[in-house]
Each structure stands twice: as C-alpha cells, then as structure tokens.
Chains A and B, each alone.
Chain A
Amino acid sequence: MDVVVCVKQVPDTEQPIRVRPDGGGVEEQGLNWILNYYDEHAVEEALRVREKHGGTVTVVCVGPARATEALRTALAMGADEAVHVQDPALDGADHLGVARVLAETIRQLRYDLVLCGRLATDDNASVVGPALAEYLGLPQATAISRLDISDGVAAVEREVEGGVEVLQVPLPAVFTVERTINEPRYPTLPGIMKAKRKEIRTLGLRDLGLEPGQVGAEAARVRYSRFDPPPRREAGRVVTPDSPEEGARLIAQFLQETAKVL
C-alpha cells in the first residue's frame, strides 16, 4: 500500500498572530512555523497503514522554501520520501491552484491512497483535499475519524450530527482526516537524525508540465482583499444588585438589549 500525504506548513497558533499594518496578510517575522496539526494526523495514519499493510509513505508539500521543515518533520516521524514543489510563480495561488499542482505531482508518484488533513489551521478552508480528489478523478471522503483497509477497499467512518457515517470506498481514493482519527507519534531524536540524511526532491511547475497562468496568481479565483485583526476583547461588566431578583433582571436586560442574544 503506497500512501501519499499532502502536508502544509502553518504558523504555530500557540503564539500570537499579528496582522500586517497594511492589512495584506499576517506578519511573518518571528512566527514559529509548524506542520499543520491535521496533517500530523494524516502522516500518522499513513504510517499506521504502512505498518499494517507494508508499502511506502511519501509526503508532498506545495509551499515556499521554509516549508521544507514541515516535510522534514514528517520524515522524522517516519515517512519514507518527500517531494517539495516550490516555484515563485505560485505566489498568490489559491486553493484550487495548489490542489491542481498537488494533483500533477501525485500523478508522477505511485499511490493507492492519498491522505490530507481536514483543514489547515492558518486559513481553515477545507478546500484542497476535496479539490485534489476532483482533479485526480478519485472518490473521496472528508473528515474521516477511522480508516480500515482490506482487499483494496477502505471502510471509513465520519462523525456526523448525532451519529457515525460508515462508508465503503474503493481505492485509490482521497481522504481528509479528522484529529480524532489517531494520536500522532512525536518525531524522535534518532528519527530526526535519520530524516536529516534523507533527500527531499524539489520540483518546479515546469517539471509538472504546468504553466504559471494555469495555477498561479493569474488563475486564482479567490483573492484576499484585506486582513483585519479580531476585535479586542472588551472588559466584562459587573452588576452590583441589591437582591438576587434585581441581579437576574439586570442580566436579562443586558442579554436582551446590549448583547442581543435573547
């Protein structure tokens, strides 16, 4: 079973994220970049598939030079190979552009299964996985919380409102994973040393037979117009009633008239 995992490098949300003064994006200086949490789960699931069924795990990333580190993290967790697509022409590519680049990359690889995270914690779009399945012409299931493979068919579970949906999906297929699917392993120090010795293959758009006009900024159907920081949290208001009844009345009044939630 050869598994391809698509990974993205995102800012660590444990740290404060600041919007640039010009509103054109987030301040990248000083950010700590990490492997997207959901993708960590996807890598973990791929490693478990390999442990059970044999085969290989290849991680693929479309992103700037710094994103190599996300691939290195996945290699340190135990992935076999890594492919990094970086091209200046991808500046300003939208999610569909990235999905198309991934599709062309994956076509060059051997795969029985493609895994992605359910979303990336930077823009929460949840678009790349499903779009990738479309470009590859493969069946897909999103936000899966369980994966079992036998005889070329995957049984997957999805947590839906009030229950669990169980699907049978013929492979090859594309799945995006929910964080409940597993508990990812930590990259170990010996794993990091091993990853250091592995080569990361770097590809540009030309290697994939793609033109900037097909996937880059020009082709983007989504353009960001502006980023705003979230509003500052206002101070709470304290009421000092003379009686519990008075307190209840003041709070009800606040909920109705000021907060407008009732």
Chain B
Amino acid sequence: MDFALSEEHRLVQQTARDFATREILPVASRLDAEHRFPAEIVRGLAELGLMGVMVPEEYGGAGMDNVAYVLAMEEVARACASTAAILSVNNSLVCDPILRYGTEPQKRRYLPVLASGREIGCYCLTEPQAGSDAASLQTTGRLDGDSWVLNGTKVFVTNAREAWVFIVYARTEPEPGARGISAFIVERDHPGISVGKVERKMGLLASSTCEVLLQDCRVPRDNLLGAPGEGFKVALSTLDGGRIGIAAQAVGIARAALEESVAYARERRQFGRPIAEFQAIQWKIADMATRIDAARLLTLRAAWLRDQGKRCTAEASMAKLFASETAMFAAHQGVQIFGGYGYIKDYPVERYFRDAKITEIYEGTSEIQRLVIARNLLA
C-alpha cells in the first residue's frame, strides 16, 4: 500500500494547479456572470495536453492515465466548475469512446483535432422522455444506402453550442430497451443536425447546455461508433470513466469551498474574535475536510482501477455519489460560514453553491448511483 503520487502525477497536479490558479481563478467569477464560454482558457488547457489526457501520443494526446486526469480535473474545478465540465465532456465522453470503440480511420480523423483543442466534442444521450432511463431513448437511426439517417431530439447537451463532434445515441433496431441502440459520430457540418435552445441554468453558467435536433440528419455509414446494437454498452462504459471525472470535479468544488471558508473564518471577527475560534465553525471545517479527503481517495481509487483495466462500475458510482454529495455539503457549509456574505455574488461560495448541485444530477443522479451500487451487491 502506498498513498504517495508518482513524480509525474505530482508534476501534472502542479502544472494544472499553477495554470488554474494563474489563468482560470482570476476570471472564473466573470465568466459565470457573463455566461461566457472560456475559449481562451480551453486553448490554454489544450496546449498543456489537458483536452486529451488519455489519448495516446500517436493521436496527438498526452498519453497519460485516469489518475493524471482526475488530479488535473480537481485543480481546474477548484478554480471554475464550468471549465471542468467542458474538459470532462471532451476527455471522458468524447475522446474516450472514440479511443475504445473507434475504428483506426475514426481515431485518426477525430482524436488529434479533439486532443489539440482545435475543436471540442459533446455527448448526446439524454432525451426529453429518456433521462435516468436512458435505454428508453427514442431517437432513431436507419441505414439508407451509404448513410445513416438520424431523427430525434436530444436535450441538456453540454458543449453542444461550441462542439464540432457529437456522439449521438439512436435506436437502430426495433427492439425496446438497451438492445437496439447504436452510437454515432456526427459532425456539425453533417446535414440535418442543429443546435436548438440553449438552456438558462442555476449554475455551470460558463458552459453551454443545449437542445440538439436531428432532422433527417445524414452521416456516412462509417460513422457508426462500435458495432450496431452495441451503443448502450458504449454509453455505459463511457459513463464509468465520466463519473470518475465528475467525482474529481466535485472534489475540486468542495475543496474550493473549504479553502475559502478557512481563509474567511480566520479573518472574519464577531464577538471580539475570529469566527474560526468558535467550535461550531471548527466542526464544520473539520467535517468538510474529512469528507473531501474521503471523496478524493474514492476518486483516485476508481481512477486507478480503470487504469489497471479492471471493472470499476460500482467504484466509479461510489466515488461520484460520495464526491458530489460532499461538494453539495461543503458548498452549503461554506455559504453558512460566510453568513450573509455567502449569499452575495461578490464572494465565490455563492457560485460554488450553484455549481455543486449539478454534480448530484448529471451522468446519473445520486439515486441512480445508489441503484448501480446496490445492484452490484444484490444482483
């Protein structure tokens, strides 16, 4: 047993921390206020190699592992949760399935562009009538000559407004449920795909969340990702990795809340002394720190398992469940420690509170994570 990070992992952590602290932190609040996509920061992250952390060097990626990825995600999320969401979708939900299930020509066409940040990708699974029950999706795909024709509506697609690559799940066989779903790689320039409504949200305001419309959308036959009918398997194995990334994002948000709370508790004086001297505040800080550490360890373990090529579905769910609830807890306590100032936009904990909530919802709600964990024990 050895809890120390390797030298290269520490370097990744340090470089991500330095970049996040110097380039992202100073503008995070403004990006949130202006609902602005951080294009320049994404370019910077791409230069560091963070848009394709696990993409092998031969496809223009950094050739590193899940542990490196979660370390970097935590640092980015600590500065700006929106930027972390953008990063997470590109790495976990777009590059990863192309790498695992893509054909050689698909890898050559898409990975270098995505890993270099020249273009970004998005992941279109959720539909108006198919959220937690993603296997009930209704978007259809049918083969017509040399193309697939896709029809349907996707919702809540992160990055869609800026994306070039869309990973789209559609039903290609008449069978209901998980069987009969296939995955596709759709490009923005393919005819029949368009981005609809851009949602107005509670948090994650610098990242776009959009409707994606497929109206007789034609994609080349070769743009099927994985085998026909294998799409749900692609979706689920992709989500194992995605959830580990979201867990790291949640740890980052929670840590930001803790760091701000510690600094504020030392400075803020009431009843003649810093509020840090009140036990009620100390206990909050102790609980935040303890849960954050536990969440980080669960996240690193899940990442490590995935790096070993081991099955990690339950562990990824545990990390995501615990870390997202920790983010919510820490943001909640953070606002409380700041008192009235915690409710005011001039202080960052207000943003953490809004940003933390999404981690309990996307890539599987907390209820769904519990279901996955329980099923693993009871099935």
Question: A: which residues have CB within 8 A of B?
Answer: 14, 34, 68-69, 72-73, 76, 186-190, 192-193, 195-196, 235
Q: Which of chain A's residues have a CB closer than 8 A to the CB of B7?
A: 68-69, 72, 196
Query: What are the 7 A-B residue pairs with the smallest beta carbon separation, nearest first?
Result: A189-B49, A189-B62, A192-B11, A187-B15, A188-B49, A196-B8, A188-B48
Q: Is the CB of A189 within 8 A of B12?
A: yes
Other A-B pairs, 15, CB within 8 Å; known A14-B21, A189-B68, A235-B269? A68-B7, A69-B11, A186-B18, A187-B11, A188-B62, A189-B49, A189-B50, A190-B49, A190-B62, A192-B8, A192-B12, A192-B64, A193-B8, A193-B64, A195-B11
Given known contacts A186-B18, A189-B68, A73 and B49 CB-to-CB distance under 8 angstroms: no
Q: Is B63 an interface residue (CB 8 A)?
A: yes
Is the contact region of chain A dominated by helix, strand, or loop, or is it mixed? Answer: helix
Q: Which of chain A's residues have a CB closer than 8 A to the CB of B10?
A: 69
Give Cα A186–Cα B43 distance, bound, in whole angstroms: 13
Q: Which of chain A's residues have a CB closer than 8 A to the CB of B11?
A: 69, 72-73, 76, 187, 192, 195
A/B interface sample: 10 pairs, CB < 8 A? A69-B7, A69-B10, A186-B15, A186-B48, A187-B11, A189-B15, A189-B49, A189-B50, A193-B62, A195-B11
Give Cα A195–Cα B57 distance, bound, in whole angstroms: 14
Q: Which of B18, B21, B53 contacts A189 (CB 8 A)?
A: B53
Q: Which of chain A's residues have a CB closer than 8 A to the CB of B129?
A: none
Give Cα A73–Cα B11 distance, bound, in whole angstroms: 7
Q: Is B47 an interface residue (CB 8 A)?
A: yes
Contacting A at CB under 8 A, from B16-53, are 18-19, 21, 47-50, 53
Which residue of chain A is the closest to B272 with respect to CB atoms? A235
Closest Cβ–Cβ distance, residue A187 to chain B (whole Å): 5
Give Cα A193–Cα B57 distance, bound, in whole angstroms: 10
Give Cα A85–Cα B14 distance, bound, in whole angstroms: 24
Give Cα A130–Cα B370 distance, bound, in whole angstroms: 63
Of B62, B68, B269, most buried by chain A (CB within 10 Å of CB) is B62
Q: Is the CB of A189 within 8 A of B14?
A: no
Give Cα A209–Cα B57 distance, bound, in whole angstroms: 43
Q: Is the CB of A190 within 8 A of B15?
A: no
Of B7, B14, B48, B53, most buried by chain A (CB within 10 Å of CB) is B14
Give Cα A166–Cα B55 distance, bound, in whole angstroms: 48
Give Cα A188–Cα B62 distance, bound, in whole angstroms: 8
Of A14, A76, A188, most buried by chain B (CB within 10 Å of CB) is A188
Give Cα A186–Cα B68 distance, bound, in whole angstroms: 16
**Chain B interface: which size bin?**
20 to 34
Q: Is the CB of B14 within 8 A of A193?
A: no
Q: Is the CB of B8 within 8 A of A188?
A: no
Q: Which of chain B's residues have a CB closer than 8 A to the CB of A193?
A: 8, 57, 62-64
Q: Is the CB of A189 within 8 A of B48?
A: yes
Q: Which of chain B's residues have a CB closer than 8 A to the CB of A34?
A: 14
Give Cα A245–Cα B89 distance, bound, in whole angstroms: 61
Q: Which of chain B's residues have a CB closer than 8 A to the CB of A69?
A: 7, 10-11
Of B7, B11, B62, most buried by chain A (CB within 10 Å of CB) is B11
Q: Is the CB of A186 within 8 A of B50?
A: no
Q: Which of chain A's residues have a CB closer than 8 A to the CB of B14?
A: 34, 73
Give Cα A190–Cα B8 distance, bound, in whole angstroms: 11
Give Cα A28–Cα B12 distance, bound, in whole angstroms: 22
Q: Is the CB of B19 within 8 A of A189?
A: no
Contacting A at CB under 8 A, from B269-304, are 269, 272
Closest Cβ–Cβ distance, residue B286 to chain A (whole Å): 17
Which residue of chain A is the closest to B63 with respect to CB atoms? A193
Q: Is the CB of A190 within 8 A of B63?
A: yes
Of A69, A72, A188, A192, most buried by chain B (CB within 10 Å of CB) is A192
Q: Which of chain B's residues have a CB closer than 8 A to the CB of A76?
A: 11, 15
Q: Which of chain B's residues have a CB closer than 8 A to the CB of A14?
A: 21
Closest Cβ–Cβ distance, residue B260 to chain A (whole Å): 14
Given known contacts A72-B7, A235-B269, A192 and B15 CB-to-CB distance under 8 angstroms: yes
Which residue of chain A is the closest to B13 with respect to CB atoms? A32
Of A34, A69, A76, A187, most buried by chain B (CB within 10 Å of CB) is A187
Give Cα A187–Cα B18 distance, bound, in whole angstroms: 10
Closest Cβ–Cβ distance, residue B268 to chain A (whole Å): 12
Give Cα A172–Cα B147 distance, bound, in whole angstroms: 67
Which residue of chain A is the closest to B21 with respect to CB atoms? A14
Which residue of chain B is the closest to A14 with respect to CB atoms? B21
Give Cα A196–Cα B68 distance, bound, in whole angstroms: 14
Closest Cβ–Cβ distance, residue B222 to chain A (whole Å): 29
Closest Cβ–Cβ distance, residue B53 to chain A (whole Å): 7
Give Cα A3–Cα B366 distance, bound, in whole angstroms: 55
Q: Is the CB of A190 within 8 A of B57?
A: yes
Give Cα A192–Cα B63 distance, bound, in whole angstroms: 10
Q: Is the CB of A188 within 8 A of B15?
A: yes
Of A14, A34, A69, A193, most buried by chain B (CB within 10 Å of CB) is A193
Give Cα A34–Cα B15 distance, bound, in whole angstroms: 10
Q: Which of chain A's residues have a CB closer than 8 A to the CB of B49?
A: 188-190
Give Cα A187–Cα B272 distance, bound, in whole angstroms: 46
Of A34, A69, A186, most buried by chain B (CB within 10 Å of CB) is A186
Give Cα A73–Cα B13 distance, bound, in whole angstroms: 12
Q: Which of chain B's residues have a CB closer than 8 A to the CB of A235?
A: 269, 272
Closest Cβ–Cβ distance, residue A23 to chain B (whole Å): 24
Q: Which of chain B's residues have a CB closer than 8 A to the CB of A190?
A: 49, 57, 62-63
Closest Cβ–Cβ distance, residue A199 to chain B (whole Å): 13
Contacting A at CB under 8 A, from B65-87, are 68
Closest Cβ–Cβ distance, residue A261 to chain B (whole Å): 23
Q: Which of chain B's residues have a CB closer than 8 A to the CB of A195?
A: 8, 11
Q: Which of chain A's residues have a CB closer than 8 A to the CB of B64?
A: 189, 192-193
Which residue of chain A is the closest to B72 with respect to CB atoms? A189
Q: Which of chain A's residues have a CB closer than 8 A to the CB of B18?
A: 186
